[in-house]
């Protein structure tokens, strides 16, 4: 008896803690007999990914003074923005800029190259129409860089600088979204994962916050804005948590660079005369939810959605534009499922067939015309022959006639000449007799 491993796919529980990734046998008594070893694959993947290191690009967008830099610092527990590296609100220029800063952070043996992209000047001008354009251009240019790197013949490392997530900061008015908010999210929701956040949430009471969130979600649905959605997992427990998070969207956050002491504990928070708003207190704001979701559980998924959905959208649009130049759009649907090279190959084949057909047609026409012409020639040749024959016959007839005439004439002449001869002879005889008679004296 040996251990059969073929299994019909079914629900399974997976151990997420790699330390307990031991191999579970179905029949415990058989040491090594049931063992193959590919259960170690996840470990191998883990090792390789740690060795490679990770990258993540996070974009923060919002008007100045909404606490973006503070939130980033709080999220990553580091002074990404500091006096030497001021946040976007301190760097406003005349037009909206899109700027990035890269930092390298390590934790538990894992290296993360974090790129923070911010947009100083966004929404701060008097006329903010098109202030999203530099942002869109930036995102597209990163996708284009990746596309070019991916399309090279010699591909080596392909650094991934695409924007994986965009945190959009909504001002805590308490009423609803502003037109700029709606416009921005509408334009970017199919280019990047958009996560809307209510900034400076410590200016809203819980009830106000609830109403505000409801209002915002209503408006988001009305305008058909697709914000980042948490994927369902196979685990029911996880799904419960996810549903809870979904109910809290958009997340209301508070950030702080300052550590204060509350009940003997040192916490990050904002010290007010009336109390301390704690950043990491779930009852005060949704900061922990954001951090857990963004960093601890869904960072990889954000990257995957960017790669599999947003980037692929960009790529297919870009390539369709290039390769379907001048081809009418009714044909392009079917062509999108082929690679451009295969498409060219097919076009070539089609063209060859078309040419063959054309050639055959032209050949046919040619042959027909030649036949016609030849036939004509034959006809006139035949005609010529016929006429020639006719004329010959005609001439021959005339000849015969002439010959006949000649013969008749000759006969007649001969006859007459014969006659004349006889007459002559008679005359001669007569004159001879007369002479004789004369001589004889008969003539007086």
Contact set for another protein, span 308-337 (CB under 8 A): 308, 312, 315-316, 318-320, 322-323, 325, 335-337
**125 or 336: CB nearest another protein:** 336
**214 or 351: CB nearest another protein:** 351
* 414: contact with another protein by CB under 8 A: no
Query: Which range of residues in 130-138, 197-205, 212-220, 416-424 is near another protein by CB under 8 A?
Result: 416-424
**100 or 281: CB nearest another protein:** 100
**The binder of another protein chosen from 102, 240, 349, 386 (CB under 8 A):** 102
* 21: contact with another protein by CB under 8 A: yes
Q: Is residue 169 within 8 Å of residue 63, measured between CB atoms?
A: yes
The label of the residue with tokens 């945190």 reads 167
**The binder of another protein chosen from 222, 232, 347, 429 (CB under 8 A):** 347
The strands making up 275-278's β-sheet, listed across from edge to edge, are: 259-262, 265-272, 275-278
130-149 positions binding another protein, by CB under 8 A: 147-148
Q: What is the distance between the alpha carbons of residues 53 and 86, in angstroms, rounded to a whole number? A: 27
* 154: contact with another protein by CB under 8 A: yes
Task: Pull the structure tokens for residue 248.
Answer: 């809290």
CB of 371 to another protein, least distance (A): 11
* 207: contact with another protein by CB under 8 A: no
Using alpha carbons, select from 52, 53, 42 the residue that is nearest to residue 19.
Answer: 42
Q: What SS3 string covers 8-36?
A: CCCCCCCCCCHHHCCCCCCCCCCCCCCCC
* 393: contact with another protein by CB under 8 A: no
Number of residues that bind another protein (CB under 8 A): 134
Q: Is residue 131 within 8 Å of residue 178, measured between CB atoms?
A: no
275-294 positions binding another protein, by CB under 8 A: 291-292
**149 or 180: CB nearest another protein:** 149
Q: Would the CA dihedral through 321, 323, 326, 327 be positive or negative?
A: negative
Task: Pull the structure tokens for residue 161.
Answer: 């600088």
Task: Pull the structure tokens for residue 226.
Answer: 């697709």
Query: Which range of residues in 124-132, 193-201, 214-222, 301-309 is near another protein by CB under 8 A?
Result: 301-309
Strand bridging mode 165-170 / 251-252: unpaired
Q: What is the distance between the alpha carbons of residues 250 and 227, in angstroms, rounded to a whole number? A: 10
CB of 219 to another protein, least distance (A): 32
CB of 230 to another protein, least distance (A): 13
37-66 positions binding another protein, by CB under 8 A: 37-42, 44-51, 54, 56
Strands (E), 14-162: 54-61, 99-107, 110-118
CB of 59 to another protein, least distance (A): 14
**The binder of another protein chosen from 125, 258, 353, 355 (CB under 8 A):** 355
Q: Is residue 249 within 8 Å of residue 290, measured between CB atoms?
A: no
Q: What is the distance between the alpha carbons of residues 122 and 131, in angstroms, rounded to a whole number? A: 6
Query: Which range of residues in 70-78, 186-194, 196-204, 242-250 is near another protein by CB under 8 A?
Result: 70-78
């Amino acid at each position: 008896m040996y251990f059969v491993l073929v299994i019909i796919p079914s629900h399974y529980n997976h151990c997420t803690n790699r330390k307990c990734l031991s191999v579970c046998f179905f029949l415990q008594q058989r040491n090594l007999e049931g063992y193959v070893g590919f259960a170690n694959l996840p470990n191998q993947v883990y090792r390789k990914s740690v060795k490679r290191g990770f990258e993540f690009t996070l974009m923060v967008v919002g008007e100045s003074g909404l606490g973006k830099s503070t939130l980033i610092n709080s999220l990553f527990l580091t002074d990404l923005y500091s006096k030497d590296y001021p946040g976007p609100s301190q760097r406003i220029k005349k037009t909206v800029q899109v700027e990035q800063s890269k930092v390298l952070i390590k934790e538990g043996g894992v290296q993360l190259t974090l790129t923070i992209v911010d947009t100083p000047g966004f929404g701060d001008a008097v006329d903010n129409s098109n202030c999203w354009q530099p942002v869109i251009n930036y995102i597209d240019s990163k996708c284009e860089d990746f596309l070019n790197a991916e399309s090279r013949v010699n591909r080596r490392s392909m650094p991934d600088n695409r924007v994986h997530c965009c945190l959009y900061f909504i001002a805590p008015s308490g009423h609803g979204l502003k037109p700029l908010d709606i416009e921005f999210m509408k334009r970017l929701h199919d280019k990047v994962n958009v996560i809307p956040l209510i900034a400076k949430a410590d200016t809203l009471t819980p009830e106000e916050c609830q109403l505000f969130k409801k209002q915002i979600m209503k408006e988001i649905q009305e305008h058909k804005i697709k914000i980042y959605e948490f994927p369902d997992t196979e685990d029911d427990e996880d799904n419960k948590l996810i549903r809870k998070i979904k109910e809290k969207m958009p997340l209301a956050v508070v950030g702080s660079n300052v550590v204060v002491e509350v009940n003997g504990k040192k916490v990050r928070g904002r010290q007010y005369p009336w109390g301390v708003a704690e950043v990491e207190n779930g009852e005060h704001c949704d900061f922990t939810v954001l951090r857990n979701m963004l960093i601890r559980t869904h960072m990889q998924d954000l990257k995957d959605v960017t790669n599999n959905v947003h980037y692929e959208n960009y790529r297919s649009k870009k390539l369709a534009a290039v390769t379907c130049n001048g081809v009418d759009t009714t044909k392009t649907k079917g062509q999108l499922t082929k690679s451009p090279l295969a498409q060219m190959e097919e076009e070539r084949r089609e063209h060859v067939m078309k040419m063959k057909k054309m050639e055959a047609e032209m050949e046919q026409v040619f042959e027909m015309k030649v036949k016609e012409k030849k036939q004509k020639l034959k006809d006139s040749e035949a005609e010529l022959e016929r006429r020639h024959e006719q004329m010959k016959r005609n001439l021959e007839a005339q000849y015969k006639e002439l010959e006949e005439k000649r013969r008749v004439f000759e006969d007649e002449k001969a006859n007459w000449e014969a006659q004349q001869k006889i007459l002559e002879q008679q005359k001669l005889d007569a004159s001879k007799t007369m002479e004789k008679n004369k001589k004889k004296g008969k003539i007086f």
